Amino acid sequence: MIAIGCDHGGYALKQDIMAMLTEKGYEFKDYGTYSSESCDYPVYAEAVCKAIKSGECDRGILICGTGIGISIAANKFKGIRAANCADCFSAEFTRRHNDANIVALGARTIGSGLALKIVETFLTTGFDGGKHARRIGMIAEIEERELN
């Protein structure tokens, strides 16, 4: 199950992404926001991160104007590895090397066509494991020490 969330800046792109997910048969849950009225992106980052941490969802998609604020907020949650991607190479390698569980997108920085390709790449690429798993473990150790 995929968790998806956005602020007002990402609302229109979220509609496009949800249409693509539906067309391709992915199951997803929409955590808002539900209109283009101004709102605060940390609220939606938190909702999507909690859905992943609880095990209800295994991947997340977050969208704001730049993808930056919403990914910064998401990366404050233990076990969340949110990657702000503006190209397909990054989307592929953040799955293969970082085992990213959230892709963040900037609706004001990339077009809808590219965003859809990034999401598709993110959802269809696996984790390489091996030495990369050791590094993910090191990130988890930093979280234990620094995020209380």
User: Which is closer to ligand RB5, CB of 12 or CB of 133?
Assistant: 12
The closest alpha carbon to 108, from 71, 64, 69, 147, belongs to: 64
Q: Which residue is nearest to ligand RB5 (CB)?
A: 69
Q: Which residue has the tokens 């998401």?
A: 74
> Least distance to ligand RB5 from the beta carbon of 31, Å?
16
For residue 39, indicate whether it is catalytic. no
For helices 112-124 and 11-23, give the axis angle rounded to 10 degrees: 50
Cα-only R_g, the chain: 14
> Least distance to ligand RB5 from the beta carbon of 118, Å?
17
User: Which is closer to ligand RB5, CB of 7 or CB of 57?
Assistant: 7
Half-sphere exposure of 135 (CA within 13 A, CB side): 13
Residues 7-26 that bind ligand RB5 (CB under 6 A): 7, 9
| Contact indicator for 139, 94 with CB cutoff of 8 Å | no
Ordered DSSP codes for 73-94 = HHTTSTT--EEE-SSHHHHHHH
Residues 45-84 that bind ligand RB5 (CB under 6 A): 64-66, 68-69
> And the tokens for 9?
């800046």
> Least distance to ligand RB5 from the beta carbon of 29, Å?
21
Among 6, 49, 64, 85, which one carries the catalytic annotation? 64
Distance in angstroms (rounded) separating the CA atoms of residues 21 and 34: 17
For residue 88, indicate whether it is catalytic. no
User: Which is closer to ligand RB5, CB of 9 or CB of 60?
Assistant: 9
> Least distance to ligand RB5 from the beta carbon of 17, Å?
15
Catalytic residues: 64, 97
Binding site for ligand RB5 (CB under 6 A): 7, 9, 41, 64-66, 68-69
